Structure 1
Amino acid sequence: MKKLFLVGALALFGAMSAQEYKPMAGDVTTEFGLAGGLLNTSVSLPDQGFGVGPMIKARYFKTDDVAYRMGVVVSNTNESNDNEDSSSNGFALGLSFGAEKHFKGTERLSPYVGGDFILGFASTSSEAGNVKTTGPNGFGLGVRGVFGADYYFAKRVYLGVEAGLGLLYSTTGSTRVDSKEVSKGTSTFKIVPDMVTGVRLGYAF
């Protein structure tokens, strides 16, 4: 009886230890992008690819194998040069929302497929003396399917890679100088295969 209890306890402990490597229902993950080599590695916000650029990214695991994902980036720049009596302003907002389905994989490897809806907006303006330039402003939206894998080299800490295919529409407005149009806007629609980021370093908490 004691041997049976001991075997059962060891099996339960082993199962619990294995689960600790990967996130479970209710966990949240966040991550950074890695670039460079072994001796000059840099850490930054993960580049989402598809022309979206770097974003703060998080995932919420609704269940052990289904996660909701979200990315956001907000940029606001204001520069001025008193010597040249000039200034420039820029604002950008990017959002992505989606979901992932994770497969069994191994004790430490978690492969998945997923998808995102992407939305972005940007505006620019500048002044030089009495001349004011506005635009071009930009707007974009799209959807993408992704596939990737996370490898948990330590408990709750992983390295990941991701790639996919996106359908993206973007439009750029006209540029005006003192309310006079000097260039017209453009719009594009494209199918884009891309890496979301080279290597991602993440943590589940």
Structure 2
Amino acid sequence: SEKAVLAAHDLPPGHLKTVALRPHLIWGLGDPNLIPRVLNRASKGRLRIVGQGQNKVDLTYIDNVVHAHLCAEAALDRPENNPGGKAYFISNDEPVNIWNWINELLDGRGLQKVEKSISLPKASRIGSVMEFFWKALRLRGEPPMTRFIASELAKDHYFDIAAAKRDLSYEPLVSMADGMVRLQQSLGGPH
């Protein structure tokens, strides 16, 4: 779908202006995905560090995602240096050790930190078996572990957002630390 959006840039009859934003791991107030899943699995003791636990990951606080969209809209209106037809990575531009970040989240909720670990090859094998059974038995929802999730939890994945800064005048407004404070306050303190 991203290719279709970018290909539609500046086509007649209406000369639609398009840009694609690629925010990574959106989190914050009202998050229906990342935060609830982490908290749910941690509260049931089902969270394990996958791999060595040293991987750095980019996350993007929700307010920064909104800000990036507003920056893109403004940039599309510029007659010069127009970013139309291009894709941009968006993040907080503060890669974090994902397990330290998860443990900070859990600590703020009064939950036990994740200390137990599992190797990436073992987590991938478990994910493969779970994927097979979920598909074969037509189970609802998603497996608690997949090969993709294992890889995402064990490997570095952060991005260079210099192009978004240059072309869209994007700068994150909310730091990772401030975002965590806001999130913890919205969740109402430890449980």
TM-score by length of 2: 0.27
Structure ranking higher in strand proportion: 1
Structure ranking higher in helix proportion: 2
Structure showing greater Rg:
1
TM-score by length of 1: 0.26
